[in-house]
């Protein structure tokens, strides 16, 4: 028996069929591969404004402490978040990005013989986190394409998959990669209908971009629902994706369980300092939100003018039906120095997800795409 076969036989059942998460292509990799310069990345829903000056200043002020371990409890950041949300710091769990929280939740509550529910077009990490535990994955069908929220969460379909063995439900609001969302009335009714022994995880990575009046503030529901966890991140509107820092809010007894499985020092000291600073940088956040509102409209209008179908989004990205296999268009854009996100791994081989960039980046994307569509059709 070969060494590879021996190792394969040792792998835990939940891990055996996993494929690693594939991130958006880094700019450096693209430029090495094609000999390009001045490339742009519209693939990973990062804030195109770059990191805020307030965060950079906080990082510089923290550099002298790099020989010391970070505060494992995240006391200062938790206090800042608690003040921001007017809540108890004991409800907050910090993570190495909100991705870390999703995995912690799965580790804490899922085992073989239990199940988790998520939507067919939802963040791929839900599937990876659930499968690694050996729990059963139950995938609910999404809304039809002609629905008011095309390819978005069908909450009735999700509810139908919940039974006594279901420990977790993952849903993103807004959803990635579709940009669709659940309004306050329907989401509250859904959580109310979920049994007490099933934890509902509402992933709000893009919440700060949303300006719609009927978008729910689920953090205000934590007192009402002991089985609710809300996850958020500093990677999107706050411009700190490279520092990997996120958090969850829940009732204290649930947060205490997550802290049992949380790795020691899972959030580094520079990330904590930068997060405290940007949380108070209201001007930066407002500028990013305003730019995204304008960019989302202009990018959507530009894509529609090219004859493409765009899923209505309230995030900082759009999902676009190219009307044909998207891989050749994706590759052509790479050769033009533009990175977007193919979503064939979500079961959407004709679609691309495109992040909202700076105005000039959006225009460059539209100009190149117009030429490419003529050549690949």
Based on the fold, state whether residues 33 and 61 are members of the same structural domain. Answer: no
- Is residue 18 situated within a structural domain? no
Given 280, 296, 330, which residue is the final one in a domain?
Answer: 280
pLDDT value, residue 3: 62
The mean predicted confidence, pLDDT, of the chain is 95
pLDDT above 80: residue 229: yes
| Residue 157 · residue 140 · CB < 8 Å | yes
Based on the fold, state whether residues 174 and 308 are members of the same structural domain. Answer: no
- Which band of pLDDT confidence, cut at 50, 70 and 90, is reported for residue 10? confident
Strands 136-140 and 166-172: unpaired
pLDDT value, residue 15: 81
Mean per-residue pLDDT, 65-91: 97
Given 218, 248, 280, which residue is the final one in a domain?
Answer: 280
Based on the fold, state whether residues 335 and 365 are members of the same structural domain. Answer: yes
**Helix axis angle, 269-279 to 53-62, nearest 10°:** 140
Based on the fold, state whether residues 269 and 314 are members of the same structural domain. Answer: no
Tell me the CATH number at 288.
Answer: 3.90.1150.10
Number of domains in the chain: 2
| Residue 129 · residue 102 · CB < 8 Å | yes
Report the alpha-carbon distance of residue 143 to residue 99 in Å, rounded: 25
Given 236, 263, 280, which residue is the final one in a domain?
Answer: 280
Tell me the CATH number at 213.
Answer: 3.40.640.10
Mean per-residue pLDDT, 346-364: 97
- Please name the residues in contact with 208: beta carbons below 8 A apart, sequence gap of 6 or more: 232, 236, 237, 238, 285, 289
pLDDT above 80: residue 2: no
pLDDT value, residue 141: 98
Based on the fold, state whether residues 148 and 270 are members of the same structural domain. Answer: yes
**Residue 275 backbone phi and psi in degrees, to 5:** -65, -40
pLDDT above 60: residue 71: yes
Identify the bridge partners of residue 231 per DSSP, sorted by sequence position.
203, 248
Based on the fold, state whether residues 114 and 139 are members of the same structural domain. Answer: yes
Looking at the chain, the whole-number percentage of residues with pLDDT higher than 70 is 98
pLDDT value, residue 13: 77
- Is residue 12 situated within a structural domain? no
**Distances from the Cα of 316 to the Cα of 180, 208, 211, angstroms:** 11, 10, 12
Q: What is the residue range of 339's domain?
A: 23-50+283-376
Based on the fold, state whether residues 217 and 90 are members of the same structural domain. Answer: yes
- Which band of pLDDT confidence, cut at 50, 70 and 90, is reported for residue 1? very low
Identify the bridge partners of residue 230 per DSSP, sorted by sequence position.
202, 249
Mean per-residue pLDDT, 169-194: 98
- Is residue 244 situated within a structural domain? yes
Based on the fold, state whether residues 97 and 236 are members of the same structural domain. Answer: yes
Query: pTM, whole model, 2 decimals?
Result: 0.94
- Is residue 60 situated within a structural domain? yes
pLDDT above 90: residue 5: no
């Amino acid at each position: 028996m070969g060494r590879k076969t021996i190792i394969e036989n040792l792998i835990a059942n939940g891990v055996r069929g996993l494929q690693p998460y594939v991130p958006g292509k880094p700019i450096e990799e693209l430029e090495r591969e094609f000999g390009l310069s001045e490339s742009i990345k519209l693939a990973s829903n990062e804030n195109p404004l770059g990191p805020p000056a307030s965060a950079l200043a906080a990082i510089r002020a923290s550099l002298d402490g790099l020989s010391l371990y970070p505060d494992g409890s995240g006391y200062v950041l938790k206090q800042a978040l608690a003040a921001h949300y007017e809540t108890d710091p004991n409800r907050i769990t910090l993570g190495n990005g909100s991705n870390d929280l999703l995995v912690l939740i799965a580790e804490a509550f899922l085992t073989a013989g239990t199940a988790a529910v998520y939507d067919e077009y939802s963040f791929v990490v839900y599937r990876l986190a659930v499968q690694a535990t050996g729990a059963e994955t139950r995938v609910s069908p999404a809304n039809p394409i002609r629905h008011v929220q095309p390819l978005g969460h069908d909450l009735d379909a999700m509810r139908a998959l919940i039974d006594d063995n279901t420990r977790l439900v993952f849903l993103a609001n807004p959803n990635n990669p579709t940009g669709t969302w659940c309004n306050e009335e329907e989401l509250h009714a859904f959580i109310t209908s979920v049994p007490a022994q099933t934890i509902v995880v509402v992933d709000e990575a893009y919440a700060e971009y949303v300006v719609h009046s009927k978008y729910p503030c689920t953090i205000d529901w934590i007192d009402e629902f002991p089985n609710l966890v809300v996850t958020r991140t500093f990677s999107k509107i706050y411009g700190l994706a490279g520092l990997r820092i996120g958090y969850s809010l829940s009732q204290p007894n649930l947060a205490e369980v997550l802290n049992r499985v949380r790795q020691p020092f899972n959030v580094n000291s520079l990330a904590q300092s930068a997060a405290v600073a940007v949380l108070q940088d209201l001007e930066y956040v407002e500028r990013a939100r305003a730019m995204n509102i304008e960019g989302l409209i202009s990018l959507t209008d530009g894509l529609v003018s090219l004859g493409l179908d765009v899923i209505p989004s309230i995030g900082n990205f759009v999902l676009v039906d190219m009307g044909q296999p998207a891989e050749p268009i994706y590759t052509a854009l790479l050769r033009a120095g533009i990175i977007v996100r193919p979503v064939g791994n979500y079961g959407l081989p004709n679609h691309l997800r495109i992040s909202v960039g700076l105005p000039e980046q959006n225009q460059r994307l539209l100009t190149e795409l117009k030429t490419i569509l003529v050549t690949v059709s």
